[in-house]
Amino acid sequence: MEIYWQLFCAFFRIGGLTFGGGLAQLPMLKFELVQKYHWLDEPELLDIYAIGQCTPGIIAINTATYVGYKKAGVPGGIVATIGMVTPSLVIITLVAAALQSVIDNVWVQHAIMGIRGVVCALMLNTVLTMGKKSLKSKFAVAVAIPALIAAFFFNVTTLVIVIFAAVFGIIWHVALHDGKMTAAKEAAGSGDGGAGNAGGDERKGGNA
Amino acid sequence: MNTWMLVFLEFMKIGAVAVGGGPATLPYLMELTEKYDWYTMEDLTNMIAVSESTPGPLGLNMATYAGYKTLGFFGGVVSTAGLVIPSIIIICLIAKFLENFNENKYVVGAFSAIRPAVWAIIAVSVYRVCAVSLFRLTDGVYIPIPKTMILCAVVFALLQVKRLQKYHPAIWLLIAVIVGIVFRF
């Protein structure tokens, strides 16, 4: 029973005390999982992080599930995940409710118009920093351009584009180049490109 | 189908297919504004701002907020549950059956193309959020909002300065609040 409580508490703290997610959480994950509880060693943590990036879903959640599962099976994975989501649930609900009750106030409106400008700047910066990481090879650029056109001009849904890209990537690297993945390795090496702390904070590695 | 079920299923879909963490959920959240009247594109900017400046993973915070917007507190619980259930299933299966999953040549091949594609999709979503945030749609014409645009341009330029990159997004958002109030945006 104790392991479940520990898993819950460890991931509750990670969820409640880190901003951004993904790589920004790595120092906190290291502290809780490697140094405090000795559930993992550092290379294992990086492996888990890599798996979290290569699977759909929120990277932090994937990490929580993986660690929980390794320590205490499926219930462990569930408990760790619940620990991770609880702080968000509470904090977001409180902030959203507070915002809703003052949104018509004229000063709040001034503040929101300012916030919008900064949100745009932060997101444009994320696109820029992610682009630098994700578009290193000619192959990556050759994938990004048609994806950009499909999403922008033809409103092709995200899922369809991702599926096409996945199939194309497999055909290109496995069938045509027989698993010789120079470009793929390069892309995998810059792995965090697929995610970016919307703040695009390079010190943290800009991951979410 | 009732809204509760729809919220659960839509967010489960996002959890099952959004590859690339937080920002990668943005295009899907945007698609929901076209499909349902749960929240608007303008709400989305507030959601991003709040999610960035509170603890917790960005994607998780945005999903919780979207659920809250749609159906209140329990809406947030339902959207969060939907979002994480695919992760739990997928990760447990991988942990059980697949050794060296992230070194598998099919996985590496697929992701080499998924990453740039996801970047492109996020870029388009960000463009669209910016369009609704920096312009006001009046009688079918987009009219720029000058003060917000200038602030955006200035902060974007400042973010390119290496020394300023270490500051947390919440600090920039705090500056936005002050500037917005002082200059009556």
In a domain, A85, yes or no: yes
Instruction: Give the side-chain half-sphere CA count within 13 A for B148.
Output: 23
Going by the DSSP 8-state scheme, the letter that residue B99 receives in this structure is T
Q: Are residues A129 and A146 in the same domain?
A: yes
In a domain, A140, yes or no: yes
Residues B93-116 pLDDT 10s: 988 887 777 788 888 888 888 889
Q: Is residue A165 less than 8 Å (CB to CB) from chain B?
A: yes
Residue of B nearest to A72 (CA): B92
CA distance readout (Å), B71 to A159, B46, B97: 25, 17, 38
Q: Are residues A122 and A173 in the same domain?
A: yes
Burial of A115 (0-12, 13-18, 19+ CB in 10 A): buried
Q: How far apart are CA A90 and CA A121, in angstroms?
A: 28
Q: Are residues A93 and A121 in the same domain?
A: no
Strands B56-57 and B135-138: unpaired
Q: Is the pLDDT of residue B173 over 90?
A: no
Residues B116-172 pLDDT 10s: 998 998 899 889 888 888 888 777 788 889 999 999 999 999 999 988 887 877 788
Q: Are residues A115 and A72 in the same domain?
A: no
In total, how many domains does chain A have? Answer: 2
pLDDT at A162: 87
Which DSSP string corresponds to B100-114?
Answer: TGGG-HHHHHHHHHH
Residues B10-64 pLDDT 10s: 999 999 988 877 788 888 998 899 899 999 888 888 888 888 878 888 889 999 9
Q: Are residues A97 and A178 in the same domain?
A: no
**Facing residues of A56 across strands?**
B19
Which of B106, B116, B127 is closest, CB to CB, to A147?
Answer: B116
pLDDT at A22: 61
In a domain, A71, yes or no: yes
A92: left (phi over 0), alpha (psi -120 to 50) or beta: alpha
Which of B127, B156, B166 is closest, CB to CB, to A121?
Answer: B156
pLDDT at A31: 84
CB contact under 8 A, A115 and B145: no
Residues B61-99 pLDDT 10s: 999 999 999 999 999 999 999 999 999 999 999 888 877
pLDDT at A146: 95
Q: Which residue ranges of chain A lie beneath pLDDT 70?
A: 20-24, 179-208
In a domain, A187, yes or no: yes
Domain boundary among A102, A134, A164: A102
Q: Are residues A142 and A96 in the same domain?
A: no
Q: How far apart are CA B129 and CA B114, in angstroms?
A: 22
In a domain, A206, yes or no: no
Q: Are residues A64 and A155 in the same domain?
A: no
Q: Is residue A25 less than 8 Å (CB to CB) from chain B?
A: yes
Question: Which chain B residues touch A65 with a CB distance below 8 Å?
Answer: 84, 87-88, 91-92
CA distance B138 to chain A (A): 17
In a domain, A202, yes or no: no
Residue-range definition of the domain harbouring residue A66: 2-102
Domain boundary among A71, A102, A133: A102
Q: Are residues A96 and A54 in the same domain?
A: yes
pLDDT at A187: 46
Say whether the ipTM exceeds 0.90. Answer: no
pLDDT at A11: 93
Q: Is residue A34 less than 8 Å (CB to CB) from chain B?
A: no
In a domain, A65, yes or no: yes
Q: Are residues A73 and A127 in the same domain?
A: no
Q: Are residues A21 and A76 in the same domain?
A: yes
- Counted across chains A and B, CB pairs separated by less than 8 A come out at 435
pLDDT at A205: 35
Q: Are residues A122 and A98 in the same domain?
A: no
pLDDT at A194: 37
Q: Are residues A112 and A162 in the same domain?
A: yes
In a domain, A67, yes or no: yes
CB contact under 8 A, A162 and B86: no
CB contact under 8 A, B91 and A69: yes
Question: Which chain A residues touch B82 with a CB distance below 8 Å?
Answer: none
